[in-house]
A and B are shown apart, each in its own frame.
Chain A
C-alpha cells in the first residue's frame, strides 16, 4: 500500500491536454550524484544506483496493466502503463489532464518525485493471440494502454499474422504519438488506419468514427484476436462491429475504466457488476462483460 519513490526523467507534451512522463526509480534518501543533465531542449534526470543503496522499483509489467501514481500533497490516481515492456527500468505513462491529480502530474518537471504502486490488473492476451491476426482498436487516450502491446508485437512480429491498428480521435490535433505512428506505418507488415471525428477541409486523412475503419481493415475474422481501448460507448460499438464481421466475442478484449482508490480489491469503488476492474480487469474478454455493458449506471 506504500508507493515506491520515482523521479520524472523526461516529460513530453503530446497534445493540448495530454502528456507523457518517463519515470525512473529514485533512491529513498537521495544521493549527491543525482542531478539533471541537459539533453537538447529538455532536462533529464539520471539516477545512478549505488551498491549501498539498491533502488526500490516496481516489478516488470505486462501490456495492459496500470500503476497508481501519487503526487505529494494532492493524491493518487490509476494510470495505464504505456511504455515498452522490454524496458523494465523506465516507467512510462501517457496522461490526460482532466482531474486534480492528473493536472498536478502535468505540472511535474524533470527531477520531480512521484510515488508509484503497481503494476496492477489483467493484461492484453498477447500470448494467446500468437498465430492469429491482431486488430488493435484505440479511441483517444485509449492508444496509451495499447502502445505496450504494439511494442511487444513489433518485437515478436513473426509470431502474429496480419496486424492492424485502428485509431480514432476527436480531431487531427488530438492524435497521440505522431512520430511513432508514422514509424509503425512504415513497417510493411503493420497496418495503421487513423480517423478523426471532426476535421477541417485541410485534413487529408479519414473522417468518421473509428468503427468505420473496421470494415476497411484487412484481417481474417475467424482467426483474429481484437483488443479495444477507448471510451465505453466506442468500445461497445467497436466490439459489436467486430462481431458483425465474424470475430467471435470471446476473442475480443476491452479495457474498462472505473474510479479506484486502492487498486488491490479493498476499496470497492471499481466494482462493475460482479467484477472488480482493478483485479479482474482492466482487460476483460468482451464476452464476459457484454451484458453488463448494456445495463445503465452499473
Chain B
C-alpha cells in the first residue's frame, strides 16, 4: 500500500490534503488494471469505489435500445472516475468501459465512507473536491446539450 502514497500525494485531486488525511485514504487504495473493452462498472451495480486514472481511457456509456451503446463522455489520464459511491443509494448510473488498456488506483468507497463519517474534516475535503468535479462535468454537459455545431434555425 505504501507505494501508492507518493502517487496519490502528487495527484492534483488530493493537492493540499493534510498528511493524516492522505494516510487514511491510502489505506483504502489499490492498484487496478482493465484490459481494453472490459467494464469497470455497469449501470445499477453497487457503487463502492472511485478511480484515479493513471493511464488509458474510459468511456462512460449508456445502452439505448435500438441504438446501441452511446458514449456520454470519456475520462482519461489524470482524471477521476465515479462519484456515485459518495451518495445513497450507492449505485452506478452509467456503464464505464475501458476503451484502451487502463491502469488506475481504485479507492474503496465503503472504507472511505466510514472514515468520512468518523472524521468530518476528511469528509468535507473529499466532498469539496468531488463537488468541484461535478460542477465542471455539469458545465461541460450543459455546453454539450447546446449542440453548438448543429445548424439551428
Interface residues of A (CB under 8 A from B): 98, 139-141, 168-170, 174, 195, 197-201, 203-209, 211-212, 216, 230-231, 233-234, 237
Contacts and interface: CB of A to CB of B under 8 A. Distances in A.
Contact of A231 (B61, B72, B78, B149): B149
A199 B70 contact: yes
Interface in B97-147: 97, 99-100, 139-140, 143-144, 146-147
A188 to B, nearest CB: 19
B59 A201 contact: yes
Contacts of B100: 204
A216 B76 contact: yes
Contacts of A208: 73-74, 140, 144
9 contacts: A170-B147, A197-B144, A197-B148, A197-B149, A201-B70, A207-B71, A207-B73, A211-B140, A230-B148
A139 B140 contact: no
A206 B58 CA distance: 9
Given A140-B148, A170-B149, 16 more contacts: A98-B151, A140-B149, A170-B150, A197-B149, A204-B57, A204-B99, A204-B100, A207-B59, A208-B73, A208-B74, A208-B140, A208-B144, A211-B140, A230-B148, A230-B149, A237-B139
Interface secondary structure of A, over-half rule: mixed
A212 B100 CA distance: 19
Contacts of B97: 201
Given A204-B99, A216-B76, A169 B149 contact: yes
Q: Which 6 A-B pairs have the closest CB atoms?
A: A201-B69, A140-B149, A170-B149, A231-B148, A207-B71, A208-B73
B74 A207 contact: yes
A200 B68 contact: yes
Interface of B: 57, 59, 61, 67-74, 76-79, 97, 99-100, 139-140, 143-144, 146-151
Contacts of A98: 151
Given A139-B148, A201-B61, A231-B149, A209 B143 contact: yes
A241 B59 CA distance: 23
A209 B140 contact: yes
A160 B133 CA distance: 33
